[in-house]
Structure 1
């Protein structure tokens, strides 16, 4: 659309067809941005929950809690975070975070009104035709996708906070203007200029941040990468993917035995540089989540079927604590002094068995334990979007990846595990 408008305007013949050339349509945001669609469908599911809670709350004499749930739902329906105009909107993490906080609070109030949800449920939550697994615990609610076997959302119930809310790095039409911006130092051009025509950059070098992700940003992505892959190539999405697991549908099985809930995602796929050179691989990931503790574990078993695997296996996740440069939000690697502990920092640490992301403002800590110890890469997810005063960098979260060497003969097995906790921590 942008290119068509520029072409017509340059031709000097735009006035006549202008009324026939239209831009975006609101529902198209649900198609272009998976995050917008996910948030929208989460809101619809919570709306249905609140409706049931309202009826049950009145019957049980808990109408006050039901009204609280409704109030939070209404606040979560504020449209700003679900889309964007010329600037802001969906690209601003504090707006998305506020929506999720009110959705979680609405769920909490619905529970107080007597509306119960199942311990786990399998449903097509986002309307894409593929089922998701939702696990409701006392402290955490986890949303897993069978597409890719990923963790799509992880919510803390108190404080009400989505710790995995992020945004995929996508190309936008205005990115074409950034490298040739005539006013890289920031500020609007002199004179009266339409907000449609502002092309200033709020800082120099934004063109270096124009990196685009090959798939949606989620957690527990199962990556098979070359042994020579560097952190720089991985962070820039310029490294090759040897496996075919990222967009594939995993089989899901539920094991209801024992005090903890166990769920198994498994798939037979291929790993190799080209279709004719791929090794058949069985990948099994077992998810264990305690109903009354703020933790979950993902245990991997990787079994090559008809050849030797010789590469790296990487488990990539992303967490967002909103402020990448704030001194009270940082990485902690026990026993190590990081040169730059900020959440927006880039670096690698070897032989890591545990680390955490700390938010002293909210008083929460996301802990990760690895077995066996792994190489850990970290880097910020930063987007470039438009604002009322020019193009700007926006911190969307921190990607953390555990990387293990993978050298297994046919018929053998490699095992790895990632334990994640999200609970109360030090409050500044």
Structure 2
């Protein structure tokens, strides 16, 4: 009788986000990367496929020569292959094809240079797949791709039939496709090695062409939870089956010592076995990702249904076709993610325009090196980690969002510098650009100068959603709204701690409320009495004069009287003037007199207040954030902590980011010279309650300063924001 055989390709994926903290690189190296590679090296007969994000591979080359030396030795003895992908780990579907190809070639070139290996396979960031991928993946020279078995289930292919490779094509360009094995992914390293071996035995067959593809994040083998002890410390491994032996060397030993397990690389699989058949896969990612991307109310329903059907043996046919959301919808779920993405595309178009100009004027060669640096800044901003949220912090990690803006503003500054040289432009300038920046069919406005970029959204309450201080490549509106998440329901006992917002935390959002307290404003649980907050404002003035620019927006809104619920019309204008490093904001309001409705207006003016949001973001160490006002003597310790909630009557506020040497100063004036002491300032931190791989965390997302004004029949307030 022929012995049953199973082919076992093993793939380890090494990744760190662009600009992650240096101590994280060192910590993960010590706990996972180094012991994993050393363990692989100890088993020369073990075949392994490796994938490294380009920025992490560069870090290894610069900082860990002994680590690189081991990989070179394994490459030379034919033990490993290294697959490619986007250098900075982008999601290919949300970046232009040109950029995908350029990033892939950049990584393949580095692998060839360092290890002498030809790259034949490609890694998909977060296993996000779209049907047009084969055409550009083949253009780079890839022969195969790894996808989740979830992709195959959606086509009706059974779990058993995912034990083979398939072939797909786009525009006639063919690519081999390997399904990742879900059972192995969940067994390692969480269960004893014997569980994985028993599973492999159960799927082995006499024909010997079955492939059980095991992939794992390298970080999973040493960083997640207690996996360092489980994977590498004898006595700390699984007791049942493994007698406490370290998981990684024990598993590797099983693989090389078991005759019916064929340790093999994916390239060897391509050469040895033909594809089982032609397949066309739908847009997909792994199953959890398809749940995370759904809007929160739908996600709750989907998660409940998925769990119910997955655990019900009578619902397996239905479960096979249960599909969640589409990865790109993260750009809808989180407007802040869309903001970064559209800015990346916007800056990229500036660079394309510059390239075209240089080619036209035969000057490209002169600036070729600088152009390459600009492209690299844009590529870094395409790193996927901060564009979504699931098991990891993602978009909630404010320093990763800062990294994206930092690289994009760097790119803008370099583009401006070259344009000034090529066109002999003055150093100081200002421009007003109307465009549909958010790609929602509604017009936005960008004011650009040599010092500032101001992004306005008239259709979302006449708000400002981005302010870039270009000398420091710093977006001071890199705040994140405290969005409701499905997992918040799991912590009803801590509901007071979990604060969520009803509207995006943008500047100049107008709120109308009674005499509510600081906590009600902080938690966004006050009762709103007007439609000014998200109304669609009309642009009534758009002009530039010298080095200043003015945008004026108007809205005819309604305010609801608190007791009778009657509505009364109000006209409100927001005027934004930008000059040098100052932003002047003038807020005007007027109630028209309506016969027989004087009593309603009287009650509104007596009981309601106007609040205007001025959120901002600092990226340094919060311990080095400070604030002051010449109208407040704060004697608390630590002195003037910016993240403490506080309120006071006054017209002046100044905040400092000590790490970046950045300050914001607000000065408020009542143009009608009445009730000059009636302005009240509320200050509170924006803290999101988010689930990450380290459990539930309270993550700083910025600070909101709300200015409260008394409503009058006619009012005008002036706020000057100075950035230094």
TM range (shorter): 0.7 to 0.9
CA distance in 2, matches of 1:313, 1:85: 37
> How well do the aligned residues superpose, as a CA RMSD in angstroms?
2.2
**Alpha-carbon distance change, 276 to 8 in structure 1, aligned in 2, over 3 angstroms:** same
Report the counterpart of residue 135 of structure 2 in structure 1. none
Report the counterpart of residue 344 of structure 2 in structure 1. 43
**Alpha-carbon distance change, 157 to 57 in structure 1, aligned in 2, over 3 angstroms:** farther
- Per-residue deviation, 1:255: 3.0
1:286-297 pair list within 5 angstroms: 286-290=575-579, 293-297=580-584
Which range moves more in the overlay, 326-335 or 93-102? Answer: 326-335
Residue among 354, 357, 379 paired with 1:53: 354
- Per-residue deviation, 1:96: 0.6
CA distance in 2, matches of 1:105, 1:70: 11
CA distance in 2, matches of 1:19, 1:399: 46
1:176-255 pair list within 5 angstroms: 176-179=489-492, 205=494, 207-226=495-514, 228-252=515-539, 253-255=541-543
- Per-residue deviation, 1:407: 3.0
**Alpha-carbon distance change, 335 to 298 in structure 1, aligned in 2, over 3 angstroms:** closer
- Per-residue deviation, 1:25: 2.3
* Structure 1 length-normalised TM: 0.85
Report the counterpart of residue 632 of structure 2 in structure 1. 336
Report the counterpart of residue 140 of structure 1 in structure 2. 452
Residue among 317, 320, 323 paired with 2:614: 317
Residue among 100, 121, 126 paired with 2:405: 100
Give the SS at the match of 1:327: helix
CA distance in 2, matches of 1:384, 1:87: 13
Report the counterpart of residue 470 of structure 2 in structure 1. 157
**Alpha-carbon distance change, 278 to 141 in structure 1, aligned in 2, over 3 angstroms:** same
Give the SS at the match of 1:174: helix
Q: Which digits, 9 at most, give the CA deviation of each residue in 1:261-301, with x for residues without a partner?
A: 111111111112379612211111111111xx111111011
Provide the aligned length of Structure 1 versus Structure 2.
389
Higher-helix-fraction structure:
2
Residue among 20, 42, 60 paired with 2:321: 20
**Alpha-carbon distance change, 66 to 318 in structure 1, aligned in 2, over 3 angstroms:** same
Give the SS at the match of 2:419: coil
Give the SS at the match of 1:213: coil
- Per-residue deviation, 1:170: 1.6
Report the counterpart of residue 187 of structure 1 in structure 2. none
Give the SS at the match of 1:342: coil
Give the SS at the match of 2:651: strand
Report the counterpart of residue 88 of structure 1 in structure 2. 393
User: Are residue 283 (structure 1) and residue 572 (structure 2) matched?
Assistant: yes
**Alpha-carbon distance change, 163 to 127 in structure 1, aligned in 2, over 3 angstroms:** same
CA distance in 1, matches of 2:645, 2:712: 28
Conservation of the 8 A alpha-carbon contact between 1:178 and 1:391: no
CA distance in 2, matches of 1:175, 1:330: 31
Conservation of the 8 A alpha-carbon contact between 1:57 and 1:63: no
- Per-residue deviation, 1:406: 1.4
Which range moves more in the overlay, 113-122 or 259-268? Answer: 113-122
- 5+ unaligned residues in a row in structure 1: which ranges? 181-204, 424-428
Give the SS at the match of 1:96: helix
CA distance in 2, matches of 1:313, 1:401: 10
CA distance in 2, matches of 1:165, 1:89: 14
Conservation of the 8 A alpha-carbon contact between 1:220 and 1:317: yes
User: Are residue 349 (structure 1) and residue 651 (structure 2) matched?
Assistant: no
CA distance in 1, matches of 2:419, 2:345: 20
CA distance in 2, matches of 1:259, 1:103: 24
Give the SS at the match of 1:245: coil
Higher-strand-fraction structure:
1
Give the SS at the match of 1:369: strand
- Per-residue deviation, 1:222: 1.4
Give the SS at the match of 2:499: coil
